[in-house]
């Protein structure tokens, strides 16, 4: 939601998609089957996970044999950590790496299975997160409902440019300061 508040055009586009899909079905609420038709919403979630992965580093690995990587000698039994946060913000891998641009996922098809090593929000290989399908379903459905039922603004007419996007340091990523928003009902039937 923080990135959507900072990028109102992105929020407007995502809300438009969510509301259109539900309206076209003649329904009054978002359910799981609707999410499959919300391509842009899925791109918003992917982009949020690119900029703000659940954990800045993946689980540590241990080398099984001696290796040379980019001129560095790595002896066997060395603990290796992969910095997903840095990979996801690397300008050599991503155009406009520091910007929230969900449209990048409309043209490039990245999945969460760890096949493309520049997009690793849930890890890769044997230690990939087993809860990916459940976690994504929860996030996508909740975000779709928040966007369907409400318009959002900062309290007291605060300016989006002043929104502090600092993240707390820790094993998982979270905002340093809680996000406070004002929900404005979009439909009269609320």
- Residues 6-34: pLDDT tens digits? 999 999 999 999 999 999 998 888 999 99
Identify the CATH number of the domain in which residue 36 sits.
1.10.630.10
Q: Is residue 80 assigned to a domain?
A: no
The sign one gets for the Cα dihedral 140, 185, 52, 108 is: positive
Tell me what pLDDT residue 123 has. 87
Tell me what pLDDT residue 45 has. 97
Tell me what pLDDT residue 66 has. 94
Q: Is residue 63 assigned to a domain?
A: no
Assess whether pLDDT exceeds 80 at residue 188. Answer: no
Q: Is residue 65 assigned to a domain?
A: no
Assess whether pLDDT exceeds 50 at residue 139. Answer: yes
Tell me what pLDDT residue 190 has. 46
| Other C-beta atoms lying within 10 Å of the C-beta of residue 63 | 14
The position carrying tokens 């043209």 is 107
The position carrying tokens 């340093």 is 176
The binding site for heme consists of: 129
Assess whether pLDDT exceeds 50 at residue 176. Answer: yes
Assess whether pLDDT exceeds 60 at residue 52. Answer: yes
Tell me what pLDDT residue 124 has. 84
CA 154 to chain centroid, in Å, comes to 21
Highest mean pLDDT among 47-51, 158-162, 170-174: 47-51
Task: Kindly report the length of the chain.
Answer: 190
Tell me, what DSSP letter sits at residue 132?
H
Range of the domain at 140: 2-54+85-185
Q: Is residue 74 assigned to a domain?
A: no
The confidence band for 164, taking pLDDT boundaries of 50, 70 and 90, is confident
Question: Could you give phi then psi for residue 156, rounded to 5 degrees?
Answer: 65, 20
Residue 187 or 79, more confident = 79
The binding site consists of: 129
Q: Is residue 61 assigned to a domain?
A: no
Q: CA of 90: how far to CAs of 9, 50, 93, 178, in Å?
A: 25, 11, 5, 27
Q: Is residue 27 assigned to a domain?
A: yes
Of 3-7, 19-23, 155-159, the one with minimum mean pLDDT is 155-159
Task: Work out how many domains the chain is built from and give that number.
Answer: 1
Does pTM top 0.85 for this prediction? yes
Assess whether pLDDT exceeds 80 at residue 85. Answer: yes
Tell me, what DSSP letter sits at residue 60?
P
Q: Is residue 109 assigned to a domain?
A: yes
Mean of pLDDT over the chain: 89
Q: What mean pLDDT do residues 115-137 have?
A: 87
Q: Is residue 131 assigned to a domain?
A: yes
Which residues contact residue 53 at a Cβ distance below 8 angstroms, ignoring those fewer than 6 apart? 84, 85, 88, 120, 121, 173
Two structure tokens written together for 55 = 């954990």
Q: Name the β-bridge partners of 79.
A: 62
Residue 165 or 1, more confident = 1
């Amino acid at each position: 939601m923080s990135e959507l508040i900072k990028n109102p055009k992105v929020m407007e586009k995502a809300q438009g998609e969510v509301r259109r899909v539900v309206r076209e079905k003649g329904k009054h609420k978002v359910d799981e089957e609707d999410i499959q038709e919300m391509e842009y919403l899925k791109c918003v979630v992917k982009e949020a996970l690119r900029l703000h992965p659940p954990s800045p580093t993946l689980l540590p690995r241990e080398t099984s044999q001696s290796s040379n990587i980019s001129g560095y000698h790595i002896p066997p039994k060395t603990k290796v950590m992969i910095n997903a946060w840095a990979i996801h913000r690397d300008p050599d891998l991503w155009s406009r790496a520091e910007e929230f641009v969900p449209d990048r996922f409309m043209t490039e098809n990245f999945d969460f299975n760890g096949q493309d090593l520049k997009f690793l929000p849930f890890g890769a290989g044997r230690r990939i997160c087993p809860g990916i399908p459940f976690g994504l379903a929860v996030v996508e459905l909740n975000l779709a409902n928040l966007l369907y039922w409400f318009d959002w603004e900062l309290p007291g007419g605060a300016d989006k440019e002043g929104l502090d996007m600092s993240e707390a340091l820790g094993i998982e990523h979270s905002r340093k300061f809680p996000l406070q928003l004002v929900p404005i009902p979009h439909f009269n039937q609320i």
